[in-house]
Amino acid sequence: MTEPSTPSTPRSRWYPSRLLQWYARAVVALRWPIVAFWVAAVAATVAWFPAYGNSGNDLEQLIAVDNPAVRSELQSLDKFGFPVLSRVAVVQRNPAGLSTATQTKAVARAKAVTDGAYPDAKPIVAAVPVMNTLGLFPGSAEDGTTIVTLLFTDPSVTFVGQHEAAEAFVANHFDADEGVVGITGSVPARVEQTRLVLSSLPRLELITVIAVFLIIAFVFRSFVTPVLALAVAGVAIILTLHLGGALADRLGVPVPQETQPLLVALLLGVVTDYVVFYFAGVRTQLAEGASRLDAARQATARFTPIVATAGATAAAGTAALLVADSPAFRAFGPGMALAILIGMLVAITLVPALLAIAGSAAFWAPFRRRRPVAPVAEGASSPFSKPVETSERPRKGWSWLLTRRWFAAPALLVLVAALLTMASPVLHMRLGVSFVEALPTNNSTRQAATQAQTGFADGILSPTELLVQGNGVAGRATELAALQQSLTQVPGVAGVLGPATDELPPGFNLFRAEDGTAVRFLLVLSDEPLGATAVRTLTRLDRDLPGLLRTAGLDGTQASMGGDTAVAKVIVDQTMHDLGRIAVAALIANLVFLMLFLRALIAPIGLLACSVLAIGATLGLTTWLFQDVYHADGLTFYVPFAAAVLLVALGSDYNIFGIGPAWREARGRPLREALAITLPQSAHAIRTAAVTLAVSLGLLALVPLRPFRELAFALAVGILIDAFIVRSLLAPMLLSMLGRAVEPASATEPPPVVPAARAPEPAALPTEAPPERA
């Protein structure tokens, strides 16, 4: 028999609102039509809409048309009539030396292609051989061992078309004894990345599904629960991939194919997070003797606002990428936001419907004894006929300890210091845009690049074009020679080809425009051309270039740079420029939703500060591992910011899941007591959800590309730090220290409720669940 409430045993009372009661009853009543609707929606989207990855989007679509590096290349093409930069190359190499016949044939073959003598080589329109013989190319590491034939194609040809044309050219016009190593360059590397992503997707999906199944089965001790959870996640994934693909085509928004594994992993993890809370609520209600329908109604009313708020917050956080100037970030934002919104909508409708249908069968497992349940009171026909009450006092466990100020204050300082220490490597984080170096070491495209770099320098495959324009500049030989000499002295530049280079093969005058108003130089860098070091070299050169022109006597001229490294520099610069606006937009979006949910100001700010600490620690650990331990030449430019935005969004999910119950409990008791009472259960649920999400996103490392491994590590570690350190320890201690300054206002007591008729007390609890109401 329940004891009356006294001041020594404070009691919290929570009634679902009329809207929530109506929603819960409607979902349970319409459970079969809801299931049928989602099944029909999946079938319709598969039949009518294309999926992500079917449109063949290339990275070049993610580069803004006003990119200064792209403009420089277009101006060069306009002035000279043909490009000097190539992103596809055929590599020939023999460490013992290539024969004279092979070298002569390489020159003749390239000239024949340029003259149009090989019609079958189309869409290749020109070829230029670069060889390291007799010092013909400055900066060559060897002599007579390597030839890199640069291929030029029609710009309208897709990346896949360029790669296939190069393969056909090698097969038709190179002999087996010419030392062909392979085809490489940024375009083949991009094609290989797409191939590896798509080929890895089935294995990634299978292993992720198995991992999620095992985790959910272990937590709920049931084989049916993970099947239902994966079915819900599968519906969300199919809808997202197909509706997202259709939306991308309709709006003309390029969606990189690399987002598909991320979307699948994100949806599996996020939807499973939402499902876990519904399942836990229904299981608790069933254990207390509720029928399957009443249990589904009560769990729906209790967790739908939490899941809906969490989903909307996460979607708003990822949509913050839309404020970026960079097309690459804007392409990621809509897909991530749409994925989370669809997952949330499926979760708040399909999960309650399935649980109302399955009832206790959802938690069935062989060889498990049924737990005794409490009897159902007569007349208790509605789960909303009485308030949910909690009259227990906090027990002296770990949650009680966290809320004691004498413990929380020093522990809070220690945790903050530890997180700041982990974040410190961020101070030397560098960013790059890697294609070839991101490939596995056993990939043929990377092996060909390695052979070319061994014979020349690391930047041989993606030289930088320096375009100098001015009236009569092509005739100023002395000044041009001085500038070319100065460029060779720039740190990080391995060699320079330009108007003062006399050792070029005959017929390959590439550097003076016919009208005399422009000249161009090719700069080969000493480092991987898309890595952070090369980007910093070009940044320094861009800053020093006006002085170099004046020193060489080329006043009145204009200079610009093109090429892969120049494009990478602009992308990195845009990324750093976007950092502030993305961070502000994401934090504001999450702060607004937290304020609306908690109806407070100081507490959301404190919780968001905890999230920022967790993200800083995550990025610091990621920088330390990949830059300091694995010696990568910088992190992939989008990884830190995509990870940060996702972690802010998902961290707000855990804020809502963890603090929401304590906030509701605090309407009838001090916040410290509410935290001590609710933390054990909410922390357990959050950790379960976090482990599932961390495993799902961590398995992205199965894609054998460095950016995926960086992102997988950052997301998995960040989620675990957020769940096990921030939400379980740091946030409760912070709120306990703030005390009354953040306590919510007491809830308004609802109108009196007529109590249900009491049932006679049984002699013993039954060993079987009561009959379920239809």
Q: How far apart are CA 275 and CA 298, in angstroms?
A: 15
Tokens of 178: 């010419």
Tell me: do 719 and 681 sit in the same domain.
yes
Number of neighbours of residue 733 by Cβ within 10 angstroms? 26
What CATH number corresponds to the domain at position 333?
A: 1.20.1640.10
Counting as low any pLDDT under 70, the low residues of the chain are 1-16, 51-66, 134-139, 245, 248-259, 328, 331, 365-396, 502-509, 744-774
Residue 534's nearest CA partner among 562, 559, 569, 485 is 569
Annotate 355-390 with DSSP letters as a single string. HHHHGGGGG--TT-PPPP-PPPPTT---TTSS-EEE
Whether the Cβ atoms of residue 600 and residue 347 lie closer than 8 Å to each other: no
Tokens of 150: 């640069």
683 found inside a domain: yes
Residue indicated by tokens 């109401």: 773
What CATH number corresponds to the domain at position 139?
A: 3.30.70
Number of neighbours of residue 691 by Cβ within 10 angstroms? 20
Q: What is each CA distance from 263 to 124, 256, 292, 638, in whole angstroms? A: 36, 11, 33, 16
Q: How far apart are CA 294 and CA 306, in angstroms?
A: 19
Could you list the residue range(s) of the whole structural domain that residue 112 is in?
84-190
Number of neighbours of residue 556 by Cβ within 10 angstroms? 10
Tell me: do 24 and 102 sit in the same domain.
no
454 Cβ contact partners less than 8 Å away, ≥ 6 residues apart: 93, 141, 142, 146
- Give one word for 457, left, alpha or beta, with left for phi > 0 and alpha for psi -120 to 50: beta
The predicted structure's pLDDT at residue 754? 39
Residue indicated by tokens 């009171």: 377
Q: How far apart are CA 323 and CA 152, in angstroms?
A: 36
The predicted structure's pLDDT at residue 665? 76
Whether the Cβ atoms of residue 179 and residue 94 lie closer than 8 Å to each other: yes
Q: How far apart are CA 367 and CA 627, in angstroms?
A: 50
Tell me: do 257 and 341 sit in the same domain.
yes
Final residue belonging to a domain, choices 169, 190, 211: 190
Amino acid identity at 227: V
258 Cβ contact partners less than 8 Å away, ≥ 6 residues apart: 193, 194, 197, 707, 708
Tell me: do 452 and 333 sit in the same domain.
no
The predicted structure's pLDDT at residue 431? 92
Compute φ and ψ for 515, nearest 5 degrees: -85, 0
Q: How far apart are CA 206 and CA 762, in angstroms?
A: 50
501 found inside a domain: yes
Residue 337's nearest CA partner among 305, 307, 313, 309 is 313
Final residue belonging to a domain, choices 544, 566, 588: 566
Residue indicated by tokens 């599904």: 209
Whether the Cβ atoms of residue 288 and residue 767 lie closer than 8 Å to each other: no
Tokens of 403: 């809320």
Tell me: do 517 and 628 sit in the same domain.
no
- 3-class SS string, 259-280: HHHHHHHHHHHHHHHHHHHHHH
29 found inside a domain: yes
436 found inside a domain: no
Compute φ and ψ for 461, nearest 5 degrees: -80, -20
Tell me: do 276 and 325 sit in the same domain.
yes
Torsion angle in degrees (nearest 10) through CA of 342, 344, 348, 354: 70
Tell me: do 423 and 465 sit in the same domain.
no
748 Cβ contact partners less than 8 Å away, ≥ 6 residues apart: none
Number of structural domains in the chain: 4
Specify the pairing of strand 180-184 against strand 88-93: antiparallel
Annotate 428-457 with DSSP letters as a single string. G--EE--STTTS-TT-HHHHHHHHHHHHS-
Whether the Cβ atoms of residue 560 and residue 704 lie closer than 8 Å to each other: no
644 found inside a domain: yes
Q: Is 315 helix (H, G, I), strand (E, B) or coil?
A: helix
User: Could you say which DSSP state residue 9 is in?
Assistant: B
Tell me: do 452 and 419 sit in the same domain.
no
Tell me: do 449 and 499 sit in the same domain.
yes
Final residue belonging to a domain, choices 521, 544, 566: 566
Tell me: do 496 and 538 sit in the same domain.
yes
- Which residues are bridge partners to 431 per DSSP? 635
Q: How far apart are CA 415 and CA 102, in angstroms?
A: 65
- H-state helical runs in 499-563: 532-551
Q: Is 348 exposed, middle or buried (0-12, 13-18, 19+ CB in 10 A)?
A: buried
Q: Is 489 helix (H, G, I), strand (E, B) or coil?
A: coil
Q: How far apart are CA 463 and CA 147, in angstroms?
A: 15
Tokens of 613: 């600490």
Tell me: do 559 and 618 sit in the same domain.
no
The predicted structure's pLDDT at residue 392? 55
424 Cβ contact partners less than 8 Å away, ≥ 6 residues apart: 620
Q: Is 288 exposed, middle or buried (0-12, 13-18, 19+ CB in 10 A)?
A: middle
Tokens of 594: 């937290």
- pTM of the model as a whole: 0.83
Instruction: List, in sequence order, every beta strand (DSSP E) within 439-514.
Output: 464-469, 493-497
What CATH number corresponds to the domain at position 524?
A: 3.30.70.1320
724 found inside a domain: yes
Specify the pairing of strand 518-525 against strand 635-636: unpaired
Q: How far apart are CA 753 and CA 740, in angstroms?
A: 31
Residue 558's nearest CA partner among 471, 470, 643 is 470
24 found inside a domain: yes
Q: How far apart are CA 665 and CA 680, in angstroms?
A: 14
Task: State the first-to-last Cα distance of the chain, in angstroms, to the nearest integer.
Answer: 29
75 found inside a domain: no
What CATH number corresponds to the domain at position 706?
A: 1.20.1640
Number of neighbours of residue 393 by Cβ within 10 angstroms? 13
Tokens of 57: 């989007």
Tell me: do 424 and 458 sit in the same domain.
no
